[in-house]
């Protein structure tokens, strides 16, 4: 299977590393805007074709699919471009930064019948899979998820500490992970959302601090705190408070409420959530089926983010 990887940044390289572990998969082109970053990535991974034109890469002989790790503002346009070119697509989270664009992606997917998947990695992290399996087995019911998503980004830098040409967003990107995960883990529709945010950064034009409250029909709630002002520790930390225990997930790791590590080695074929996400994408294409985290499955989360955005706009 031949893959085009668009976006030669920090996350793009994580996907290339993951794809190298999947039999029968080859990244044949890398797409990006920085000639220096493109060449470094192509040289590092032995990728023979590089370009700043996604259409050129999609037109290469034998291309099956594309993975988009490009700036959020390009996600919808490029995902649709890939599908109209007859290619399966995985678009990194968020699939778009508006509900209208998300709905258009889903419309094109339904029209073409291609595999279109959103990069909701939390569904695949072994830590969250462990909790999900407990819930599905009837051994654990969520009462509350308490989530902290904290970074220190007072300037426009990426995960490698390099200058970024676009602006990240706490709501449409980082909150998207938790909104989707809460609905996925409870198996319910989010019926209530409350959102507040701090001051808008004078240069970046975004809120640097935000808080969301979510609720589903069973009464389970989620409290989410997000910040770009937090000077360590960095990352996302998920506390599951349930009727039979407490779990704390830190990406691919899991501990109980007393910080006792939980063995996740038997949860899946890898301990790397991004690799597991990519394996699902490839498997769905090969098996001609809808993937977990398809754009259709993730659309409800975009509706919740839209409702939160409307609240934030009204509160200005």
- For residues 192-211, average pLDDT: 93
Average pLDDT score over the chain: 95
For residue 160, pLDDT beyond 60: no
Q: What is the pTM of this model?
A: 0.94
- Tens of pLDDT, residue by residue over 103-121, are 999 999 999 999 999 999 9
Q: How confident is the model at residue 285 (pLDDT cuts 50, 70, 90)?
A: very high
Question: Is 173:94 a contact under the CB 8 Å cutoff?
Answer: yes
For residue 202, pLDDT beyond 70: yes
- Tens of pLDDT, residue by residue over 85-96, are 999 999 999 999
pLDDT at residue 154, rounded to an integer:
74
Backbone torsion region of residue 29, taken as left when φ is above 0, otherwise alpha when ψ lies between -120 and 50, otherwise beta: beta
First vs last Cα of the chain: how many Å apart? 49
For residue 240, pLDDT beyond 70: yes
Question: Among 9-13, 75-79, 190-194, which is the least confidently predicted range?
Answer: 9-13
Question: Among 31-35, 144-148, 189-193, which is the least confidently predicted range?
Answer: 31-35
Nearest to 164, CA basis, from 172, 173, 153, 175? 153
| Phi, psi for residue 237 in degrees, rounded to 5 | -130, 120
pLDDT at residue 205, rounded to an integer:
84
Question: Is 195:212 a contact under the CB 8 Å cutoff?
Answer: yes
- Tens of pLDDT, residue by residue over 142-157, are 999 999 999 987 766 5
Share of the chain above pLDDT 90, in %: 87
- Tens of pLDDT, residue by residue over 291-308, are 999 999 999 999 999 999
For residue 231, pLDDT beyond 80: yes
Share of the chain above pLDDT 70, in %: 96
- Tens of pLDDT, residue by residue over 59-70, are 999 999 999 999
Assigned superfamily of 2-121+274-293 = NAD(P)-binding Rossmann-like Domain (3.40.50.720)
What is the spatial distance between Cα 298 and Cα 176, in angstroms, rounded to a whole number? Answer: 9
pLDDT at residue 159, rounded to an integer:
56
- For residues 42-67, average pLDDT: 97
**Adjacency order of strands within the sheet including 246-250:** 190-197, 209-216, 221-227, 142-150, 235-242, 246-250, 253-256
The CATH code for residues 126-268+302-314 is: 3.30.360.10
Q: Where in the chain is the domain with CATH 3.40.50.720?
A: 2-121+274-293
Cβ–Cβ contacts within 10 Å for residue 76, how many? 23
Q: Where in the chain is the domain with CATH 3.30.360.10?
A: 126-268+302-314
């Amino acid at each position: 299977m031949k893959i085009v990887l668009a976006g030669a940044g920090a996350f793009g390289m994580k996907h290339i590393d993951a794809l190298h572990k999947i039999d029968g998969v080859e990244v044949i082109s890398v797409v990006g805007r920085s000639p220096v970053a493109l060449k470094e990535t192509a040289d590092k991974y032995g990728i023979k074709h590089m370009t700043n034109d996604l259409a050129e890469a999609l037109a290469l002989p034998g291309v099956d699919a594309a993975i988009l790790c490009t700036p959020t503002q390009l996600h919808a346009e490029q995902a649709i471009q890939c599908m109209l070119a007859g290619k399966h697509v995985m678009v990194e989270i968020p699939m778009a930064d508006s509900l209208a664009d998300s709905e258009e992606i889903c419309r094109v997917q339904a029209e073409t019948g291609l595999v279109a998947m959103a990069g909701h990695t939390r569904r695949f992290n072994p830590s969250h899979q462990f909790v999900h399996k407990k819930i599905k087995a009837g051994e654990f019911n969520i009462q509350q998820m308490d989530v902290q998503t904290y970074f220190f980004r007072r300037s426009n830098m990426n995960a490698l500490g390099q200058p970024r040409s676009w602006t990240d967003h706490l709501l449409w990107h980082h909150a998207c992970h938790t909104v989707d995960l809460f609905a996925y883990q409870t198996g319910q529709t989010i019926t209530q959302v409350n959102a507040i945010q701090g001051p808008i950064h004078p240069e970046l034009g975004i809120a640097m601090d935000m808080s969301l409250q979510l609720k589903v029909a069973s009464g389970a709630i989620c409290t989410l705190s997000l910040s770009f002002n937090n000077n360590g520790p960095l990352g996302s930390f998920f506390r599951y408070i349930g009727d039979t225990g407490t779990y704390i997930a830190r990406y691919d790791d899991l501990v109980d409420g007393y910080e006792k590590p939980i063995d996740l080695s038997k949860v899946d074929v890898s301990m790397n959530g991004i690799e597991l996400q990519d394996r699902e994408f490839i498997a769905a294409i090969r098996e001609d089926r809808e993937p977990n985290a398809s754009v259709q499955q993730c659309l409800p989360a975009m509706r919740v983010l839209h409702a939160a955005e409307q609240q934030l706009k009204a509160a200005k």
